[in-house]
Amino acid sequence: MQEYTTRERFLAVMRDGDISKGFPVIEWAGWWHLTYENWIRLGAPANTDLRVWYGLDEHHQVGFGPHRPPGTIVRDEADYDRIRQELYPAPHFDPAGMENLRKRQESGNAFLWLTLEGPFWYPRTLFGIQNHLLAFYDYPELMKRINDDLAEFSIKVIEEMCKYFTPDFMTFAEDMSYNHGPMISYGMMDEFMKPFYMRVAPELNKRGIIPIIDSDGDIEPLISWFENVGIKGILPLERMAGVDVNRIRKNHPKWRMIGGFDKTVMHLGEDALRKEFERIKPAVLGGYYIPSCDHQTPPAVSIDDYKLYVRMLREFSDEVANIDTKS
């Protein structure tokens, strides 16, 4: 089988839905500290990039978010006015670090992604969880103002980053679903979130940056709404919340997905892993999908468990590539 670079495989799958090159073998999220600490106790090398040690493919996430003064919680317009100037600094990236990432991207050895805070996530960090939900009713104009400021800030971040390189995709941090679905109604999404996405998504799409929502829980009811505001995909597709990647692929043929592999079977041995790969295979064969752990690897997964998972995931990539080229 011909060898392709990590970035070639990423772009083929996520831009074109082409799995003939296989898919990159990644863990998109950072590991839980308990998982990492357990691996170190079991003999994994400390102070080492364990992604490299495990043989995962290379990718790099870069973010630049608003500042939040420690301990500050916004209660009303006066609080926001008082700290507003501190929240949205001029975006700045380390030139040497960005140049190194650009070279890794251009070589094909890595794909790069940007993370921004979304219009559900960010106000919550200012109000706190409970007051944020109340603010949709108590301070609607303030909520809209915050998200307008956030949109302006986000566009500046995109413009500054693209002076160094163009990310291959990006994620909006949102976390707006639990296992029973979205936390707010579609009407509220239209009123409070849509203006943000209608400003920011075009700035991404015109540059060829694939915009993806990062939200836990049951995200299937959100997909059509996000499609309509310029978003192209979602991660992590948590199986325990009832998310079904095969159903998503059937209903949304070009919707991008990353994740979806049930993390609760990762420590159960080869037969359980193989059964899970078979479960998600129809969605993978449909393209536009990079299978990966459906959030973060649990602490119950040993070093040997994880090595087995990575080996089988790479074999699965080769398998589906061969199926695609013979079809």
**What is the length of the chain?**
327
For strands 289-293 and 210-214, give the pairing.
unpaired
> Which residue's entry shows tokens 């296992």?
179
Residue 215: per-residue pLDDT: 95
Identify the weakest region by mean pLDDT among 1-5, 100-104, 157-161, 249-253: 1-5
Report residue 172: phi and psi, to 5°: -95, 120
Report residue 166: phi and psi, to 5°: -100, 115
For 64-235, CATH number out of 2.30.30.140, 3.20.20.210, 3.30.43.10, 3.90.1210.10 equals 3.20.20.210
> Which residue's entry shows tokens 């994994």?
44
Task: Say if residue 86's pLDDT is above 60.
Answer: yes
Residue 327: per-residue pLDDT: 46
Average pLDDT over residues 264-277: 97
Question: Do 135 and 179 meet the contact criterion of CB atoms below 8 Å apart?
Answer: no
**In the Cβ-directed half-sphere of 90, how many Cα atoms lie within 13 Å?**
0
> How far does the chain reach from its first CA to its final CA, in angstroms?
16
Q: Would you call the peptide bond into 91 cis, given omega within 30 degrees of 0 as the criterion? A: no
- Strand-pairing partners, residue 171, are 115, 212
Distance (Å) of CA 129 to CA 118, 149, 150, 185, 188: 15, 20, 18, 17, 16
Average pLDDT over residues 45-63: 95
276 class by beta-carbon count within 10 Å (0-12 exposed, 13-18 middle, 19+ buried): buried
Identify the weakest region by mean pLDDT among 22-26, 219-223, 270-274, 323-327: 323-327
Model confidence band, residue 216 (pLDDT cutoffs 50, 70, 90)? very high
Model confidence band, residue 324 (pLDDT cutoffs 50, 70, 90)? low
Model confidence band, residue 295 (pLDDT cutoffs 50, 70, 90)? confident
- What's the token pair of residue 110? 């890595």
Task: Say if residue 69's pLDDT is above 80.
Answer: no
Tell me the C-alpha distance between 324 and 55, whole Å. 24
What average pLDDT does the chain have?
95
Share of the chain above pLDDT 70, in %: 98
pTM for this prediction:
0.95
Model confidence band, residue 2 (pLDDT cutoffs 50, 70, 90)? low
- Strand-pairing partners, residue 112, are 60
Average pLDDT over residues 83-95: 95
Average pLDDT over residues 199-221: 96
Identify the weakest region by mean pLDDT among 65-79, 200-214, 236-250: 65-79
> Which residue's entry shows tokens 């799958």?
13
Model confidence band, residue 294 (pLDDT cutoffs 50, 70, 90)? very high
Q: What is the DSSP string of 73-139?
A: ---SHHHHHHHHHHH-PPP---HHHHHHHHHHHHHTSEEEEEEEE-TTHHHHHHH-HHHHHHHHHH-
Average pLDDT over residues 118-124: 97
Tell me the C-alpha distance between 189 and 79, whole Å. 24
Structure confidence by residue, pLDDT tens digits, 303-321: 999 999 999 999 999 999 9
Per domain, the residue ranges of the chain are 1-56+250-327, 64-235
Strand runs labelled E in the chain: 58-63, 110-117, 169-173, 177-178, 181-182, 210-214, 233-235, 256-261, 289-293
Average pLDDT over residues 69-86: 89
Task: Say if residue 96's pLDDT is above 50.
Answer: yes
